[in-house]
Amino acid sequence: MPERNIVLIGFMGSGKSSVSNMLAKILKRDVLSTDRLIEEKEGMSIREIFQQRGEAYFRKLERKIVQEVCARQGVILDCGGGVVLDSRNVTDLKKNGILIYLAASAEHIYKNIQGHKHRPLLETEDPKAKIGKLLQQRAALYAQAQHTIRTDDKTVAQICEEIIGILPHE
């Protein structure tokens, strides 16, 4: 039986990248980030892609990258927060992957994104309100994951432990 991918989804700042990297070390698996692959392919940062080409263009790139990474087996996939907006991505990711939603509260997300990499969608006058609005819009989409792990007030190691606990039941 080929090993299934471990696919992390969730809002920006919910800890997907830190958890993916630690999990990859613990499980000795490769880790792939859809955002990093898009940046490599385009030779631009996510922020530049949004600014110069727009969100619709970014989503098309994201769709292509998801199709490519879904061809891999046994890897850890760190997905951009908006990957669930295209239902085809969810279907493809689920085919040979276990979808795990890292769920964080708006307060926790807001704290986490301070002083971190630029998130074009949150570069607004009131990022807190935007987080709340997007979280609400996306709640049902993230809920399509097979598992949900709340990340507020948990360490990256604790979250990894929870994920590892899920694997034998899959």
Q: Which residues bind ligand S3P (CB under 6 A)?
A: 12, 16, 35, 46, 80-82, 119-121
- Closer to ligand S3P by CB, 44 or 121: give it: 121
- Closer to ligand S3P by CB, 16 or 154: give it: 16
What is the closest distance, in whole angstroms, from the C-beta atom of residue 79 to ligand S3P in the complex? 7
What is the closest distance, in whole angstroms, from the C-beta atom of residue 121 to ligand S3P in the complex? 5
- Closer to ligand S3P by CB, 61 or 98: give it: 61
38-45 own/partner pairs: CB under 8 Å, 24+ apart: 38/62, 38/65, 38/80, 41/65, 45/118
What is the closest distance, in whole angstroms, from the C-beta atom of residue 14 to ligand S3P in the complex? 7
- Closer to ligand S3P by CB, 15 or 97: give it: 15
What is the closest distance, in whole angstroms, from the C-beta atom of residue 132 to ligand S3P in the complex? 14
What is the closest distance, in whole angstroms, from the C-beta atom of residue 80 to ligand S3P in the complex? 3
What would the DSSP string read from start to end of the chain?
-PPPEEEEE--TTSSHHHHHHHHHHHHT--EEEHHHHHHHHHTS-HHHHHHHH-HHHHHHHHHHHHHHHTT--S-EEE--TTGGGSHHHHHHHHHSEEEEEEE--HHHHHHHHTTSS--GGG-SS-HHHHHHHHHHHHHHHHTTSSEEEE-TT--HHHHHHHHHHHGGG-
- Closer to ligand S3P by CB, 82 or 97: give it: 82
